[in-house]
Amino acid sequence: MRYDFGSDNTAGMAPAALQAVIAANSGFARAYGTDETTARAADQIRQRLDADAEIRFVFSGTAANAIALSMLAFPFEAVLAHQAAHVCTDETGAPGFFGQGVGLIGLPGLSGKIDQGALEAALSEPVVGHRQPAAALSLTQSTEYGTVYTEEELRHLIEPVKAMGYGVHLDGARLANAAAAGFDLTQIPRLGVDILVFGGAKAGANGTEAIVLFDKSLARRLDNRLKQAGQTASKGRFLAAPFLGLLESNAWEDGAAHANLMAERLADGIEARSPFILAHPVEANAVFVRMPEEAHARLNALGWACYRFDDGSVRFVCSWQTQVEVVDEVVEAISTLG
C-alpha cells in the first residue's frame, strides 16, 4: 500500500524540521519550555501573526483544540462548530473530556464552511433551559473540506459571536495551506479570534501544534491546564524545534504552497481525464471526488490509499512531500477506473 494520499499525517518531518531537531539536541537545556529553542520558535509565530501573543507548544492537535475549547466554555456550556469539524467528528469525545462535559453544537454549511444563518439561529436560542447553552465558536481554516474562508466570511461569523460576549477558537491544523492560498494570517487577532491552534504536524513538523493565546493574561491558566493534562514537555525544545526550523526557513509556507499546487494538479487531472466530479472547491491541499464504491475499491487495490469521508466523497490529501510524478501516476490510475 502506498500512503501518499490518505492523509497529510503520513509524511515524515520536512528536512528543515529535522535539521532543527538535530541542532536543538546539543547539550543541556532548561526543562518544561523555558529553553531558548522554544523562545525563538514562539517569536517566529508572533511575527507571522503580527501579535504579542503567548505561545505554547503541545504534543497533539487533539489536545491543543480541546484544551483551547476548555478555556472558552464551562463544563455546562457548549461550543458551536461546523458539524464536519474535526472537534465534532473525530476525537473520541476529547472536547467533552478536556472540558469535563463541554458540549458541541454542530452547524450545517456548504463545503465545510459554517452557514451564517444557521449560526445566527443558534445564537438566538435562549441561554437558560435544559440544553447546554452556547458559549464559544470554533472555526477551522482551511476547512475539513479543503476550502478557505475569506476574511469577509470570517468577519460575518465572528462578529455576532463576539457581540454576545462569547469566545472564538480557530483550529489551524492546516493554517499553512490557508496562508498559501492567500489568507492573511495577521488578520486572525484583528478578526477577534481568542485562541488559535497554529498547525505544525501537517506542515512538516513531527506532530506538534502550537496554542496561541491572544489574551496574555490567561497564560497562567493555560500553563496549569497543560501541566495537568500531560501536555507540558519536559524536553520542550523537541516540540519547538520543528516549528523553528520550518518557520525560519519559510518551509512552513513553501511546503504548504507545494501541497496546494499538487492538489490543484490532481483536481485538474481528475476533471480532465476521468468521469468523476469534484465534491468541493479545491482551495487548499485536499481534493474530494464523487466516486462509486467499486472504483474506490479498485483504486485502493492498485495501492493508492485514500478514504471515503463523511459526505460520501473520496478524499485525497497532498502534503509538502507529495511529488509531481506521483500525482500524475494517480491521475493516470483514476483515469482507468471510469
Q: Footprint of a second copy on residues 247-286 (CB under 8 A)?
A: none
DSSP, collapsed to helix, strand or coil, labels residue 139 as strand
How far is residue 42 CA from its own chain's centroid? 18
CB of 103 to a second copy, least distance (A): 5
Q: Which residues neighbour 210 within 8 Å (Cβ) at sequence distance 6 or greater?
A: 41, 42, 45, 55, 56, 57, 58, 64, 197, 198, 200, 243
Give the end-to-end CA distance of the chain in Å, rounded to a whole number. Answer: 22
> Of 150, 224, 250, 336, which one interacts with a second copy (CB under 8 A)?
224
Pair type for strands 286-290 and 195-199? unpaired
> Of the candidates 231, 260, 274, 285, which one interacts with a second copy according to CB under 8 A?
231
8 A C-beta contact, residue 59 and residue 208 = yes
How many residues line the site for a second copy (CB under 8 A)? 76
Segment interacting with a second copy (CB under 8 A) among 7-15, 46-54, 144-152, 252-260: 7-15
- Does residue 221 belong to the site contacting a second copy (CB under 8 A)? yes
Q: What is the DSSP pairing of strand 209-213 with strand 195-199?
A: antiparallel
Kindly state whether residue 307 participates in binding a second copy, applying the rule CB under 8 A. no
Nearer to a second copy, 100 or 186 (CB): 100
C-alpha atoms less than 13 angstroms from C-alpha of 23 in its C-beta half-sphere? 15
Question: Per CB under 8 A, does 4 bind a second copy?
Answer: yes
Query: Minimal distance in Å, beta carbon 167 to a second copy?
Result: 15
Asked if residue 201 binds a second copy (CB under 8 A), the reply is yes
Q: Which is nearer to a second copy, 134 or 291 (CB)?
A: 134
Choose between 186 and 221: whose C-beta lies nearer to a second copy. 221
Residue list 313-332, contact with a second copy (CB under 8 A): 321
